[in-house]
Structure 1
Amino acid sequence: MSKEISYQDHANHIGNNYFGNVVQAKAGALEKVIQKILAASKENQELVDIIEELTEYVTAHPYREIIGLENKLKNGGRADLLGNAIRYKGKFARRVCKSQMSLTEQKVYVQILSHILISFDQFVRPRIREDAPTSEVDAIIFEKIIEPAHSAIIEFDDEVTKELILGMLFFLTGKCHLVWDETC
């Protein structure tokens, strides 16, 4: 999570007046939410209702036929992703199991999974429906999902990699929350 950074420009003079300019690089919305989660968890460790939120993402989508990650990717013409998808999905699944006693980590996962789900539906699905080239779809996934999620979480946990974020995307795919073909 990037912190607000202030820069003083003491050399900025306009006419005979001196102006000390302060330029602030603001944290993104996802980063701000994660900062709030961290602050709240320090005050109150009894945030048990997060388990219910996370459960929504780690269980199968209730209104879609469960066909699994392999079939989702094949149906979407993305069997080329399958080997890494299975590996990254498993990596994230193991991490969720390992961290089930950390409410803070679970809250962060809910935020990141929500970001992935909404970003996929808003930016990736329309391009899939329009039959965009896979290179364009992959670029959108990186730009709108992987990079912002990784940037938001890296200061909270420097062990989180972009592969883990991609694993979250494939985890949601396997649970039928994300649709990769243009028919749905």
Structure 2
Amino acid sequence: MPYEGRESVPVTQSNNDVGGHMGGRDVNVYANAGDVYLTAPADLARNQKASVFRRLFERLEQEANEDKVLTGYIRQLEIYTRVVENEEVVGLEQKLRMAGRDRQVTLATGLKENVFATLKANLFSPTYQMIAATLMAKVHERFESDVRHLIDDGADSAAIDRAVSQHIIAPFAEELEECPQFEDVAVDYVRGMVYFLTGNCHIRWDKC
């Protein structure tokens, strides 16, 4: 519907030197063509965009201050830290070689071990375990939704790698980088999660 302007009200702003808009709250910005853009306050926009990882890392910081501890893995994380039942026990290296990914073995092993070491170091943190479980769940879901069908259809490695990067590595790394408390290399952390799930048989790179 067309925009109907309100009756103008005279307002006096004297002796003010302000950059940008002088409005006290939302500002209606008019383009040359007459379009109207509603500009929300910056703080509100940032709060609405806060990702689940940012909220969890903020909780982790509070948890550290309160010295809360656990004695084992939380249920949500146990799903991904145990090997899939009835799956032939094959190591990460062999899984990658079966899929023709020999060149990835060395780096993949190192990234997977980094994830495992971080999990062990944070064994007593319920919030960190929730962060890891959330990321693993997201990685697994994206792999099954956006990558698995390419493997089953016989796509080449380059197409599969592009899909992994576009749908898994890049978006989740960006979310982690928005968390001030996250001090790892986000891209490698997410890739490590992919290989960790591969090693535990939750992700397969060959045709099932």
TM-score range relative to shorter protein: 0.7 to 0.9
SS in 2 for 1:62: coil
CA distance in 1, matches of 2:116, 2:134: 16
CA distance in 2, matches of 1:81, 1:179: 14
Give the fraction of aligned pairs with identical amino acids, expressed as a percent: 23
Q: Residue 71 of structure 1 is aligned with which of 85, 90, 94?
A: 94
Q: Residue 34 of structure 1 is aligned with which of 53, 70, 75?
A: 53
CA distance in 1, matches of 2:77, 2:165: 23
Residue identity opposite 1:12 in structure 2:
Y
> Which residue number in structure 2 is paired with residue 4 of structure 1?
none
Q: Deviations over 1:37-96 (max 9, x none)?
A: 456665996899971111111110113212111111111121121111111111111111
Contact 1:117 1:177 in 2 (8 A): yes
RMSD: 3.1
Name the larger-Rg structure.
2
> Which residue number in structure 2 is paired with residue 52 of structure 1?
75
| Distance change in 2, residues 1:174/1:50 (3 Å) | closer
TM-score (structure 2 length as normaliser): 0.70
CA distance in 2, matches of 1:50, 1:33: 20
Shift of 1:132: 1.1
Contact 1:153 1:160 in 2 (8 A): no
| Distance change in 2, residues 1:49/1:97 (3 Å) | closer
Contact 1:92 1:167 in 2 (8 A): yes
SS in 1 for 2:39: strand
Matched, 1:180 2:205: yes
Tell me how many residue pairs correspond in the alignment: 173
Residue identity opposite 2:30 in structure 1:
N
Shift of 1:136: 1.1
Alignment map for 1:1-184 (pairs within 5 Å): 11-12=29-30, 19=36, 21-22=38-39, 27=49, 32-38=51-57, 42=62, 51-154=74-177, 155=179, 156-182=181-207, 184=208
| Distance change in 2, residues 1:50/1:107 (3 Å) | farther
CA distance in 2, matches of 1:96, 1:153: 16
Q: Deviations over 1:77-122 (max 9, x none)?
A: 2112111111111111111111112221111111100011111111
> Which residue number in structure 1 is paired with residue 19 of structure 2?
none
Q: Which moved more, 1:108-117 or 1:154-163?
A: 154-163
Structure 1 unmatched ranges of 5 or more:
1-7
Residue identity opposite 1:167 in structure 2:
G
Of structures 1 and 2, the one scoring higher in RCO (CA 8 A, sep 6+) is 1
TM-score (structure 1 length as normaliser): 0.79
| Distance change in 2, residues 1:10/1:168 (3 Å) | same
| Distance change in 2, residues 1:9/1:113 (3 Å) | same
Shift of 1:33: 2.6
